[in-house]
């Protein structure tokens, strides 16, 4: 079998091989979508194909939605060629369940895919934005892209087309995994909209015209795994080999992801929206989204993930699930989540924080079938730590709670500095994951070598005082000296990372 529209007509072969097929008239969906587009999405990577695209397919299957999604690539247009055009806009979403079973679904909810670096595709996108029936434009473009002048300029240009065509309302929905993502998108567009007329900027800033709802999205979607590819090939799917684009993106006809997924969206859609609640999406007020987002990003998942990522790189792990076999690491993330995080978190009401952590610790992270790596999670850690740990430290201060009771959080912060040296616990060199501040931090830590005495305090104190990296000055927050002490312990020599972890994470 090959992944294209013609081969998909042989439904019996696909179903015999265990694939779940779309249950709607795809040709009719494409026809309606071309004339009356209602949903466009910027950034058609793994998270989109494993989650929003699957949600749309469920609505199409049940007849609750008639139009599909137009996908647009503004950064790496080659992904459109290799992933979408090569397979007639079809993809395979593989769900890896904790009990070892898998679900193979052919996803057909994408109506068209556009490269915005091609003029004819850009003109088509402008046409779509001029369409009165367009309800929403969603985004999974990564957090740093909201500061990208070229990308935001392009998005502003498209919104300007809509403004000039009749100022039709629309929701601009960031689904990226960052705090207050709707505001990030708005700020990025405001900076670029200034080149147009003043009335256009005022139009963007009025939520009755253009809304920027906050969202919280949660689904682990690692890079396409070789074991999953082999399984698909064994099932009869031939064209499964991924390739790298010139920009370094991994282009694969399939995505692999965990079963669990949450999407919480502020219900602010001036032009209406698809009934995504019927597919399991939570719609609520902004305050609730904020609480859910902080619960997940600052307490129940992301800090635990980052802790495993940092220690995993230092201890030589290649899978997050393997780390969950280490009792000291399990005790560390439980300490950070249950003991240190929960007392500072606000319960959002729609999802229980304690239950969320239970699911993360007991089912999600230990899932041996999720091929996720600490090295992937450790990427851009300088951008993540201020939120994932700094917000909890701030909450302790706001609630007059004693930060000196914290152990797990400062231990991870110290381990992060140790990780930045690029030397593992056995003394072997490794390359820290990509990070926009890696060069600066490596330069500031230059000369520090595990097992050798050195000017620890003079090197690390200026970093621990830097609010860019921790969200707070750690000394002002009462954690600077403790983090220094942990760092010295982690620097004692080979085996000191494991020993320090055991010493501070035993019952």
Nearest-angstrom CA–CA distance, 424 and 426: 5
Of the pLDDT bands very low, low, confident and very high (cuts 50, 70, 90), residue 174 is very high
Q: What is the mean pLDDT of the chain?
A: 95
Token readout for 8 is 């998909």
| Radius of gyration of the CA atoms of the chain, in A | 24
Q: At residue 194, does pLDDT exceed 90?
A: no
CATH 3.40.50.300 fits 288-505, yes or no: no
Backbone angles phi, psi at 39, to 5 degrees: -145, 120
Is the model's pLDDT at 275 over the cut of 80?
A: yes
- Which tokens hold the place of 220? 């682990």
Quick one: pLDDT band at residue 506, thresholds 50, 70, 90? confident
Q: Is the pLDDT of residue 200 over 90?
A: yes
CB-based burial, 421-442: b 16+ in 10 Å, e otherwise: bebbbeeeeeebbebebbeebe
Residue pair 222/376 in contact by the 8 Å Cβ criterion = yes
Dist CA 48 CA 45 (whole Å)? 6
Q: What is the distance, to the nearest Å, from the Cα of residue 4 to the centroid of all Cα atoms in its chain?
A: 28
Domain boundary assignment for the chain: 5-284, 288-505
CA angle 208, 214, 217 (to 5 degrees): 140
Residue 88 gets the label, from left (phi > 0), alpha (psi -120 to 50) or beta, of left
The residues with which 112 forms a beta bridge, in sequence order, are 70
Question: How many residues are listed for the chain in this entry?
Answer: 507
Helix (H) or strand (E) holding 381: helix 381-388
Phi, psi of 185 (to 5 degrees): -65, -45
Arch. (CATH architecture) of 5-284? 3-Layer(aba) Sandwich (3.40)
Query: What confidence tens digit (pLDDT) does each residue in 141-172 have?
Result: 988 889 888 999 999 999 999 999 999 999 99
323: pLDDT strictly greater than 90: yes
- Distances from the Cα of 92 to the Cα of 95, 244, 252, 466, angstroms: 10, 18, 9, 44
Angle between helices 327-334 and 496-505 (to 10 degrees): 50
Say yes or no to pLDDT of 453 above 80.
no
Q: What share of the chain is helix, strand, coil (3-state, %, to 5)?
A: 50, 10, 40
């Amino acid at each position: 079998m090959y992944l294209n529209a013609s081969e998909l007509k042989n439904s019996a072969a696909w179903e015999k091989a265990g694939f779940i097929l779309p249950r709607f008239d795809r040709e009719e969906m494409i026809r309606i979508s071309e004339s009356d587009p209602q949903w466009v999405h910027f950034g058609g990577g793994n998270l989109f194909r494993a989650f929003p695209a699957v949600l749309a397919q469920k609505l199409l299957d049940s007849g609750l939605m008639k139009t599909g999604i137009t996908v647009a690539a503004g950064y790496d247009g080659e992904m459109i060629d290799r992933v979408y055009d090569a397979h007639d806009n079809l993809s395979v979403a593989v769900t890896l369940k904790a009990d070892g079973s898998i679900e193979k679904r052919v996803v057909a909810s994408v109506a068209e895919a556009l490269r915005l670096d091609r003029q004819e595709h850009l003109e088509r996108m402008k046409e779509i934005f001029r369409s009165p029936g367009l309800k929403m434009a969603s985004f999974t473009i990564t957090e740093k892209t909201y500061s990208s002048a070229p990308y935001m300029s392009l998005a502003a240009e498209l919104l300007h087309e809509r403004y000039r065509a009749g100022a039709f309302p629309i929701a601009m929905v960031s689904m990226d995994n960052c705090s207050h993502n709707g505001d990030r998108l708005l700020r990025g567009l405001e900076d670029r909209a200034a080149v147009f007329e003043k009335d256009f900027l005022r139009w963007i800033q009025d939520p009755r015209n253009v809304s920027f709802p906050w969202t919280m999205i949660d689904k682990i979607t690692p890079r396409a795994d070789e074991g999953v590819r082999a399984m698909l090939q064994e099932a009869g799917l031939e064209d499964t080999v991924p390739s790298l684009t010139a920009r370094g993106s991994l282009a694969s006809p399939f995505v692999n992801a965990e079963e669990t997924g949450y999407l919480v969206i502020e219900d602010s859609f001036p032009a209406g929206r698809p009934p995504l609640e019927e597919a399991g999406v939570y719609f609520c007020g902004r305050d609730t989204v904020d609480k859910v987002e902080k619960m997940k990003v600052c307490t129940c998942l992301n800090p635990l993930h980052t802790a495993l990522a940092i220690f995993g790189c230092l201890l030589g792990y290649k899978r997050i699930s393997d780390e969950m076999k280490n009792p000291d690491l399990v005790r560390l993330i439980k300490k950070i989540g249950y003991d240190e995080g929960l007392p500072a978190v606000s319960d959002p009401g729609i999802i229980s924080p304690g239950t969320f952590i239970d699911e993360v610790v007991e089912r999600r992270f230990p899932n041996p079938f999720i091929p996720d790596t600490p090295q992937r999670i450790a990427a851009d850690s300088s951008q993540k730590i201020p939120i994932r740990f700094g917000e909890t430290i701030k909450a302790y201060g706001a609630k007059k709670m004693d930060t000196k009771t914290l152990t797990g959080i400062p231990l991870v912060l110290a381990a992060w500095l140790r990780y930045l040296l690029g030397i593992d616990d056995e003394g072997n060199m490794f390359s820290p994951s990509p990070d926009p501040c890696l060069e600066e931090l490596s330069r500031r830590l230059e000369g520090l070598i595990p097992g050798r005495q050195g000017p620890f305090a003079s090197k690390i104190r200026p970093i621990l005082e830097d609010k860019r990296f921790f969200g707070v000055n750690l000394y002002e927050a009462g954690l600077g000296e403790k983090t220094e002490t942990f760092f010295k312990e982690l620097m004692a020599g080979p085996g000191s990372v494991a020993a320090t972890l055991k010493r501070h994470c035993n019952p």
